[in-house]
Amino acid sequence: MEFNLATILILFGVLLLGWVIGFLDANLRTAKKIKAAETQAQIQIEAARARSLSAEAQAKEPAIKAMAGNNLLRLWAGPGQEVHLELDDQPADRRNLTPDQRRRLIARLASMRPWLEGGASAPVQPPPAASAAASSTPLTAKEAPPAPPSASIVAQINNILQSKLIGTPLEKRGVRLQESSSGGVMVFVGLKIYDGVDAVPDPEVQAIIRQAVAAWEKALH
């Protein structure tokens, strides 16, 4: 009888131990499933957020590109109101401008002339005098002719260039500068036309034009 009771107790203990192990294993599996579900949900939330941000960025990008275009010239003020300059998306230090940056800056400023000149209002013309008054009043002095318009930057540099060409082998080659309709610089060498100084294949012509530019810059200071 004692043997049978011990056997029953052992079997009961084994069953109880198996139930405890099964219970713990089931809880562990359930916890893992819950953790995996939470992780998967977090991944999906982050993916949805990333897709939303990407869609917003793609929606804004065409508008930004349309507004931005090519950044030829940009000025802005820093925290201390110091002025900063960018040429073709590259920072330019006013204290250390390279000759190429200086030439490009002059070309950009020259291209802005149509905006400056287009905004100036035409002078108001006085009404014509009556014919009777004109016939009875003798003219005592001739009217002063209107002042000629100020020469553009390109025209000023061209004047310096023409003075430098005198007495040189390039004098008879018809080298001259002219401002284009867009405000750029056209270089004439005889019957040939080049878009900008750098497009001229003759190094001597390039050199004398740059000398004229340097002389014009020096005259500003």
pLDDT tens digits for range 79-116? 777 777 887 778 887 777 787 877 777 877 777 766 66
Give the pLDDT score at 194: 92
Q: Distance (Å, rounded) from C-alpha 133 to C-alpha 68?
A: 60
Measure the CA angle with vertex 86, ends 81 and 88; round to 5°.
165
Measure the CA angle with vertex 15, ends 12 and 17; round to 5°.
110
**Mean pLDDT value across residues 182-192:** 87
Give the pLDDT score at 97: 76
Lookup: tokens for 34: 């819950």
**Mean pLDDT value across residues 154-180:** 90
Residue 209 has pLDDT above 90, yes or no: yes
pLDDT in tens, 5-21: 777 777 777 888 888 88
Q: Distance (Å, rounded) from C-alpha 170 to C-alpha 176?
A: 11
* 110 neighbors 154 (Cβ within 8 angstroms): yes
Q: Distance (Å, rounded) from C-alpha 20 to C-alpha 203?
A: 95
Residue 154 has pLDDT above 60, yes or no: yes
Q: Distance (Å, rounded) from C-alpha 32 to C-alpha 36?
A: 6
* 87 neighbors 94 (Cβ within 8 angstroms): no
Whose CA is closest to 109, among 179, 199, 189?
179
Residue type present at position 179: E
Identify the residue whose tokens are 């001597």.
204
Give the pLDDT score at 50: 83
**Mean pLDDT value across residues 178-205:** 88
Residue type present at position 172: K
